[in-house]
Amino acid sequence: MFEIIQAAITGGAALALLVLAGITLGGSAVGLAVTTPLFVIFSPILVPATIATALLATGFTASGSIGAMAITIFMWLFKKITGKNPPKIPFLTPKNPTTEGGEKEDKKKEKEKKDE
């Protein structure tokens, strides 16, 4: 009985989503038909603006990637030259879960020994 109810609810939800998808597709088609003349009229402005936006986004992405790579290389050089890890920034570096868990277990064992 439960499977029948579950199948009916699932079928109803699927049908509702299918109707919603059809309405969305229809709305998108109407929107495209309305805005196409505007795109044709304003294309001398939109095309260069799109190219400029794409170039800016590419530049920002490349800049961030190159900066991250440079920091990684500097950290590697620091480790290579000094033989130790760079200094940790408080509250920004994650704690090592293995040592933290080990300390908790040690405290639990000490507490159990005291209780005995």
Q: Which residue would you say has higher pLDDT here, 96 or 67? A: 67
- The answer on pLDDT for 99 being more than 60 is no
Return the percent helix, strand and coil in the chain, to nearest 5.
85, 0, 15
When the pLDDT of each residue in the chain is averaged and rounded to a whole number, the result is 84
CA distance 14 to 8: 10
User: Which positions ≥6 away from 57 have C-beta within 8 Å?
Assistant: none
Measured in residues, the chain has a length of 116
User: Distance between alpha carbon 98 and the CA centroid of its chain, in Å?
Assistant: 26
User: Distance between alpha carbon 52 and the CA centroid of its chain, in Å?
Assistant: 25
Dump pLDDT digits (tens) for 44-60.
888 899 999 999 999 99
